[in-house]
């Protein structure tokens, strides 16, 4: 134990750096749990869909959904999420990719999905706009 004390006192800069790194990791992990799901690119979403049987859950309004959506996406408007748990439960063992409109409370949706045992939740960064900009197929 004395060796540690000697090391920490002689190399206080390294010791302080270690404490800062550990604190940064702790803060980042805590922040990620509070903020919610990770954001993924359109390319990463395609990989999840093709290789891990990911399901796209489109949280946008039905009218907007019908104007254009990702092929095989499941439309469950964010306001109806609590009433559609039977539909959601079909996908709880699969990676979920959320498509949302700006203004939707994503952190609440994320917490709701976690409470229903969803563990692999991602958000498509940029939503449908990013999907279309990547020239990926859209169904109407």
Note down the domain range covering 23. 2-33
DSSP three-state, residue 52: coil
The model's pTM = 0.73
> Does residue 21 sit in the same domain as residue 42?
no
CATH of the domain at 133: 3.40.250.10
> Does residue 13 sit in the same domain as residue 54?
no
Q: Counting Cβ atoms within 10 Å, is residue 123 exposed (0-12), middle (13-18) or buried (19+)?
A: buried
**How many structural domains does the chain have?**
2
- Sorting pLDDT into bands at 50, 70 and 90, what band is 15? confident
> Does residue 58 sit in the same domain as residue 12?
no
**pLDDT by residue (tens digit) across 69-109?**
999 999 999 889 889 988 888 998 899 999 987 666 787 88
> Does residue 44 sit in the same domain as residue 104?
yes
């Amino acid at each position: 134990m004395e060796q540690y004390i000697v090391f920490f006192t002689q190399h206080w800069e390294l010791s302080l750096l270690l404490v800062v790194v550990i604190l940064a990791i702790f803060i980042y992990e805590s922040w990620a749990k509070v903020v919610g799901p990770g954001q993924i690119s359109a390319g990463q979403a395609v990989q999840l869909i093709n290789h891990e049987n990911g399901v796209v859950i489109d949280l946008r309004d039905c009218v907007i959904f019908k104007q254009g959506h990702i092929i095989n996406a499941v439309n469950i408007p964010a306001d109806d999420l609590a009433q559609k748990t039977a539909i959601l439960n079909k996908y709880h063992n699969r990676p979920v990719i959320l498509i949302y409109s700006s203004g939707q409370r994503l952190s609440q949706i994320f917490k709701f999905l976690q409470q229903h045992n969803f563990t692999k939740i991602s958000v498509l960064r940029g939503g449908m706009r990013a999907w279309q900009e990547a020239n990926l197929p859209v169904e109407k």
